[in-house]
Amino acid sequence: MHELSIAQEILSSARAALQPYPGARLERVRVAVGELTAIEPELLRFAWEALLEGTPEAACDLDVEWRPAQQLCATCGVPKARPPRGWLPVCGDCGGPLRVDGGQELDLLQVSFVVPDGENGHERDD
């Protein structure tokens, strides 16, 4: 499951963003995942939970924003509607060849966190 190493990468990038804030705790991390990255959002979220389980940041959510790839026609110059998870062989309007655009994203979009400065925190007492 390569999602686990990707979750690890996301986590270390998110933690790096928190470095100027000592004691800060991750609350929510938002990423964009492209269709062509071969990452399954469900598996990524599962790996994320497994990674944070038992840590003070176990409640941190991972929001995955799905970015589908687009098929563009060079002749018409516009993106064409694709069937879900399927591809068009040629442009439905002019029969011209299509190229694929986007879908390669793996971006850290937003990192939300709390800094425990006078704040009582959300201590879990299991």
Identity of the residue, 10 or 71, whose beta carbon is nearer to Zn ion in the bound complex: 71
Please give the radius of gyration of the chain, using alpha carbons only, rounded to the nearest integer.
19
Using DSSP's 3-state secondary structure scheme, residue 101 falls into strand
The encoded tokens of residue 59 equal: 């409640």
Q: Which stretch binds Zn ion (CB under 5 A): 42-50, 52-60, 70-78, 111-119?
A: 70-78
Identity of the residue, 32 or 76, whose beta carbon is nearer to Zn ion in the bound complex: 76
Q: Does 98 help bind Zn ion (rule: CB under 5 A)?
A: no
Q: Does 76 help bind Zn ion (rule: CB under 5 A)?
A: yes
CB 122 within 8 A of CB 57: no
Q: Which of 31, 39, 60, 91 binds Zn ion (CB under 5 A)?
A: 91
Centre a 10 Å sphere on the Cβ of residue 32 and count the other Cβ atoms it contains. Answer: 16
Q: Does 10 help bind Zn ion (rule: CB under 5 A)?
A: no
Residue closest to 41 by CA, chosen among 59, 60, 61: 61
Instruction: Give me the residues that bind Zn ion (CB under 5 A), please.
Output: 73, 75-76, 91, 93-94, 96
